[in-house]
Amino acid sequence: MSPRASQGYAALTLALGLALTACARETPAVAPSSEAAPGVITLTKNHGPLQVTPRLSLATGNFWPEDTDAGGREPTAALFIFDANLQPPSQQHVRVRAGQTVEAAGSVLEVSQVIDQGDDQRLRLKLRAP
């Protein structure tokens, strides 16, 4: 192999390594729950699914404001719910807003916050048994 071809492969390998390293440094899908708030799950836009129980995995995306019955607008998000116990495994898609409760996969999810501020798009849930 010529020295010029060898340099080309080395440059390609370096570029690929840098690209893969950048992907590995993406924002984590879930912010850790604090000791003060056990059972609180924070999902960030387009990351997941996160397994929260042996049966239940969650993901989120598609954040946008929607009209309310009171005439205002509030942020909403798509919540993707994966139930591993169903055969075949089931995926449910629910549009959620703060204050809403969703029952899925033997658990109750209380939506405490939907944050849609530019690049800061998060969904905060509290997981509890039914």
**Which tens digits make up the pLDDT trace of 31-56?**
444 444 668 999 998 777 899 889 99
20 vs 10, higher pLDDT:
10
Mean pLDDT estimate for the chain: 77
Residue 87 has pLDDT above 90, yes or no: no
* Structure-block tokens of residue 107: 């658990």
Angle CA 35–27–110, to nearest 5: 50
Residue 18 has pLDDT above 50, yes or no: no
Indicate the residue type of 102: V
* Structure-block tokens of residue 36: 């003060």
Rounded CA separation 58/48 (Å): 7
Q: Among residues 59, 75, 68, 61, which one has the least CA distance to residue 116?
A: 75
pTM of the model: 0.68
